[in-house]
Amino acid sequence: MPELQVGIALSSETRLVASPSIQPDGIFLHPMAIMEAPMIETSSQKHISTPLSDEQVAEYRRDGHLTIPEVFSSATMEKAIEDACAWGEEMQASWTEQQQAWFMEHVGTPDSQLRKLDNPVYHREVFRRLASSPDLVGIVEQLIGPGVTVFFSQVFFKSPEVGGPKPLHQDNFYFRPDDNDAMVTVWIALDEATRENGCLYYGNGSHLGEMLPHSAPPEEPFNLQISKEIVSDQCMTPAPVPRGGISFHHGLTLHQSSSNRSSHWRRATAMHFLRNDTKLVSPPLEYDLNLAVQISKASGG
């Protein structure tokens, strides 16, 4: 079985074709080696404990998600926002129509806005520093095991009064790891996420069930979602996150977000961590795992 240098073992069914790419010609490939975690400024108000308490771990195992407030300082979040906005402006200048349809929303209207950017952990040093924060990595390894890689990451912009919803879905349907417990999504609030500006909503305990069927509108093949009829009786719980806080969620946890109807931004980054001994098997969308960044290695690995 072939194996990427980042440590993710690939099945013969895994596709390594990039989705609409935003990388410039001649991009420097980040070396696939263990990254030394740089120093990250954490909040002066509250420093998270590593490892998590037994109660916090139990909450994650029970509900399928866990929110830890005030992990990163406001100044660190502001630097990340500035970097993401500059990157977005740079990329938009050269996008094709296909890339605009993928990364923008309301294209061709006065409300046209940047929706997301892919793989910031690979492309941007600011986001690699966040992903390799010792506190963050310690929690990730406690939840899914030692030796982890960010195999995909995203920045969401959800602009004021324009940013659209993300329908109900499960991350593991997108990624298809061969061990459903070996992937965790780390959702960092660059801005405060509230009910008004589109925070996440979770189906508590839904990760204990099965992976559900998803489908996507023909005009939005990236927008895989679960039909409301399938989960009509599922209660969804809002999970507001203060700026600099993190929401961790299991790959099978049902979640969604609403539109931003407020006058405030709701920018966030999602980093998808996978234990290094895990395979992705036939994901429905195409991911370039050459852009994965190994963050840590298991002892003796």
* Mean pLDDT computed over every residue of the chain: 85
Hey, what's the torsion of the CAs at 58, 62, 139, 253, to 10 degrees? Answer: 180
Task: Say if residue 260's pLDDT is above 60.
Answer: yes
Per-domain residue ranges of the chain: 54-294
The predicted-structure confidence for 8-18, as pLDDT tens digits, reads as follows: 433 333 333 33
> 186 near 237, Cβ under 8 Å?
no
Give the residue-averaged pLDDT of 30-51: 45
The two three-digit tokens of residue 49, written as one number:
């404990």
Looking at 2.60.120.620, 1.10.3720.10, 3.90.1300.10, 3.40.50.720, the CATH number of the domain 54-294 comes to 2.60.120.620
| pLDDT, tens digit (0-9, with 9 covering 90-100), for 266-275 | 999 999 999 9
Q: Looking at the predicted structure, is the pLDDT value of residue 192 above 90?
A: yes
CA-nearest of 150, 154, 256 to 201 is 256
**What does pTM read for this prediction?**
0.85
What is d(CA 49, CA 41) in angstroms, rounded to the nearest whole number? 15
Q: How confident is the model at residue 101 (pLDDT cuts 50, 70, 90)?
A: confident
Distance CA 187, CA 174 (A): 16
